[in-house]
Amino acid sequence: LKKKVLIVDDEDNVRRLVAVTLSGGDYEVLQARDGVEALAVAQRERPVLVLLDVSMPGLDGIEVCRRIKADPALRGTTVVMLTAQAQADVQRRALAAGSDTFLTKPFSPLQVLELVERKVGAGP
Amino acid sequence: VTQQSAGRVLVVDDNEQNLALIRAQLELAGYVVSTATSGGAGLAAAAADRPDLIVLDVMMPELDGYEVCQRLRADAATASTPIVMLTALHERADKLRALETGADDFLSKPVDRAELLARVRSLVRQKRLLATVEQERATLDAVMASMTDGLLVVDADDRIRFCNARAATFLHLDPAEAVGTRAERAFERLLLQMPGATAAGAAWRSALADPGARPSFELSLTADGQQRDVLVDLFPFQETGRPAPENGTSGQGVGVLLRDVTPQRDLARAKDELVAVVSHELRTPLASLVGFAELLLVREFDEEERREFLGIIQEEGRRLTSLVNDFLDLQRMESGRQTVVPVPIELGPVLARAVAAAGDDPARPIVLDRPPVLPLVSADADRVLQVLANLLSNARKFSPRGGQVTLAARPLEGEVEVSVRDRGLGLPPEAVPCLFEKFYRVDNSDRREIKGTGLGLAICRQIVEAHGGEIGVESEGLGTGARFTFTLPTASPVVGSGDVLVVDDDSGFARLLEEAH
């Protein structure tokens, strides 16, 4: 059974990049383009890891992260925040919302792959 | 040449002979003298003439000298006018009473000439010194009242000695009541109604403890119901006339300057925000660009995927290019380095060129609606074309289901109004006031797929305003389309002899002709 990884970003190309990066591995890549869709997919599919963009229209990534972390059904889901803002303030807010780690755009796809393998591999 | 008088003296005495004698002696010494022969007349003369000094006889019928003296002191206009009382010789009780009722000095009758002149000269000099000091103080008060900065002066005993109107507003003090009260208490009271009170209190106390270090800190204060950023600067001053510092007290007072730095802080905040937004806008396309390039370098892909990823790299590269171009364009205009060069032009050909440049789109045809004759406008054709290109491209972009776009022009008073009407997605009311701001995006799911730098309309506004025109938008709401309008001033209709009017839709050529001329 493949491990489910959810990529949430309003940028089509970024979602495609992550999907291609994780393809060929032991992952089923799910996609969502905004916060509302992300929560729906997460609750339905229970991914082991969510790559979550911070600034999205509507419900932003910080709030989505907070809700994932508050959902008992999603306990054990790792959240990796993706930010296009290098400001320490955003990273602080991401950590405060319960995010496990974060990556700054632009990021190296190989590093993303390595990070996902490390986070997911450790789990069941 | 009139010599400056030694001073103006009012002499009040019911004895005409005595009066004449004193008058003569004073006039000889250079004084301008007026006289009154009763207490009542003396009061009236004092109020009318404002003398530098009053010589007042004690023994007068009806209103005696003591009574007159008391009344003069009670009147603010004469309260500080020096008064010399004329008393009977050796009457000690009279002399004491004269001083008690407010007289500055006394002379015994018969009046000795030298003594009269010596006392009058001394008192007039004092009066003039006092007047100078009072005038200086009034000037200083006026200056401090007019200062945009607040100024609070606290003495070595922590008593408020001075507080100008601005400081009173910042510190929520009544300037009349505050003087003489403890500064610390006033500040504690202020802290109670302040956000971040603990930090502010600590800053205030450590600053007061060592004003010699010229401490400076910022407070967020409410003034006239508004939140203001206030820069507080403290400086010590040595109080004059204070005994040398002894146990505990430094003998130093503290001046507190309060400067409203809200505009500067707002600017800095706006700058930080802009940097954050620009960084975000640059990093987003870079993520795809760098990411796909790395994947292409380290992994094998089939030809179809390879082409897809290269296409994404190219697309995001172009997106970055237009972002940088737009941003620099806007910066140049905002800093005034890039200006428009308006010349009288015909608008018709410019509109036609804009429509042609927009190209064909059968689902979103552009219809030109203009009267056969339009007045000449004063405009930079290339820049107007840039605005039109932006508005027409937006009109089509935000009409995903197609629809006609109307480009219209009509003459108004002293200007021509150009409008671009679409039947597309329209605007929610809250978006209308912000639409021309940098990087503003309407946050609605119907337009998330529509890309742009977020700078186009900000550039349009800069260009139109540089022409002296106005840009605006109206929409009846989501789904109803939008109508963008901008105005351009008509060219001055009076053409003086020797002026050449250049009419050419190619503004480059028009400018060339103008320069040659």
Question: pLDDT per residue over A29-41, tens digit each?
Answer: 999 999 999 999 9
Position B89 scores a pLDDT of 63
What was the pLDDT predicted at B329?
A: 85
Predicted confidence band of residue B29 (pLDDT cuts 50, 70, 90): very high
Q: Do B445 and A58 touch (CB under 8 A)?
A: yes
Do the chains contact at B448 and A108, CB–CB below 8 Å? Answer: no
Distance, in angstroms, between B166 CA and closest chain A CA? 35
Q: Residue holding tokens 């996902």?
A: A116
pLDDT digits (tens, 9 = 90+) for B432-451: 888 898 888 777 777 777 77
Question: For chain B, what percent of residues have pLDDT higher than 90?
Answer: 43
* DSSP designation for B231: E
**Per-residue pLDDT averaged across B279-284, rounded?**
87
B53-57/A101-104 β-pairing? unpaired
8 Å CB contact of A105 and B312: no
Reported confidence tier of residue B431, pLDDT bands at 50, 70, 90 = confident
Q: What is the mean pLDDT of residues B79-93?
A: 84
Of the two residues B184 and B54, the one the predictor is more confident about is B54
In sequence order, the 6+-apart residues with CB closer than 8 A to the CB of B62 are B38, B39, B40
**Nearest C-alpha neighbor of B349 from the set B393, B382, B309:** B382
pLDDT digits (tens, 9 = 90+) for B247-278: 455 678 888 899 999 989 988 888 888 888 88
Do the Cβ atoms of B444 and B426 come closer than 8 Å? no
First to last CA, chain B: 66
Q: How high is the mean pLDDT of chain B?
A: 86
Order across the sheet with B83-88: list the strands. Answer: B32-36, B8-12, B53-57, B83-88, B105-109
| E strand or H helix that includes residue B469 | none
- Model confidence at B2: pLDDT above 60: no
- By Cβ distance, the residue of B284, B316, B443 closest to A57 is B443
Residue A122, pLDDT above cutoff 80: no
Nearest residue to B230 (alpha-carbon basis) of B238, B222, B242: B222
Q: Taking an 8 Å Cβ-Cβ cutoff, which residues of chain A contact chain B?
A: 10-11, 13-14, 16-17, 20-21, 33-34, 55, 57-58, 84-87, 104-110
Q: Quick check: B283 and A84 CB within 8 A?
A: yes
Range of weakest confidence among B38-47, B85-94, B456-465: B85-94
pLDDT at A124: 45
State residue B110's pLDDT score. 84
- Give the gap in angstroms from C-alpha B284 to the nearest C-alpha of chain A: 6
Q: For residues B514 and B503, what is the distance between their CA atoms, to the nearest angstrom? A: 10
CB contact under 8 A, B298 and A34: no
pLDDT tens figures, B282-304: 898 999 999 999 999 999 999 99
The Cα of A112 is separated from the nearest Cα of chain B by a number of Å equal to 10
Residues of B with CB under 8 A from a CB of A: 276, 279-281, 283-284, 286-292, 294-295, 298, 305, 309, 312, 315-316, 441, 443-445, 448
Verify whether the Cβ–Cβ distance B448 to A104 is below 8 Å: no
What is the pLDDT at residue A28? 94
Maximum mean pLDDT: which of A41-45, A88-92, B102-106, B124-128: A41-45
Distance from CA of B311 to the nearest CA of A (A): 11
Distance from CA of A12 to the nearest CA of B (A): 9
Tell me whether residues A84 and B279 touch, CB distance under 8 A: yes
pLDDT tens digits, B470-499: 999 998 888 888 999 999 999 876 544 455
CA atoms within 13 A on the CB side of B439: 14
pLDDT at B514: 58
Give the residue-averaged pLDDT of B2-23: 87
Q: Residue B404: what pLDDT?
A: 92
Predicted local distance difference test score (pLDDT) of residue B177:
85
Backbone angles phi, psi at A28, to 5 degrees: -105, 115
Q: With beta carbons less than 8 A apart as the criterion, state whether B31 and B120 touch.
A: yes
- Which chain B residues are Cβ-neighbours of A107 within 8 angstroms? 287, 291
B355-360's contacts with Cβ under 8 Å and 24+ in sequence apart are B355/B392, B355/B407, B357/B385, B357/B389, B358/B389, B358/B392, B358/B393, B358/B396
Chain centroid offset of residue B290 CA: 47
Closest Cα partner for B457 from B492, B494, B429, B482? B482
Identify the closest residue of chain B to A55 by CA–CA distance: B280
A17 to B288: CB separation less than 8 angstroms, yes or no: yes
CB contact (8 A) between residue A106 and residue B445: no
Give per-residue pLDDT as tens, B116-163.
999 999 999 998 898 899 899 999 989 998 999 999 998 888 889 889
Mutate to test the interface with A, among B290, B314, B320, B451 (most CBs of A within 10 A): B290
Report residue A7's pLDDT band, with 50, 70 and 90 as the boundaries.
very high
In this prediction, residues B8-29 reach a mean pLDDT of 93
pLDDT digits (tens, 9 = 90+) for B331-387: 888 887 777 888 999 999 999 999 998 888 999 999 999 888 889 999 999 899 999
Alpha-carbon torsion angle B279, B284, B287, B293, nearest 10? -110
| Beta carbons of A33 and B298 less than 8 Å apart | no
Smallest CA-to-CA distance from A82 within A59, A62, A110 is with A62
Note the pLDDT of residue B247.
47
- The percentage of residues in chain B with a pLDDT greater than 70, rounded to a whole number, is 91
Smallest Cα–Cα separation from A71: which of A95, A38, A31?
A: A38
Give the residue on B whose Cα is nearest the Cα of A109: B291
Kindly state the helix (H) or strand (E) to which residue B202 belongs, with its residue range: helix B197-209
What is the structure's pLDDT at B471?
Answer: 95
Residue A119 has pLDDT above 70, yes or no: yes
Choose among A86, A105, A109: nearest Cβ to B284.
A105
Which pLDDT score is estimated for B507? 61
pTM recorded for the entire structure: 0.61
Cβ pair B470, B487 in contact under 8 A:
yes
List chain B residues with CB under 8 Å of A58.
443, 445
- Tens of pLDDT, residue by residue over A14-23, are 999 999 999 9
Residues of A in contact with B279 (CB under 8 A): 84-87
Are the beta carbons of A57 and B441 separated by less than 8 Å? Answer: yes
- Chain B nearest C-alpha distance from A94 (Å): 16
Residue B501 has pLDDT above 70, yes or no: no
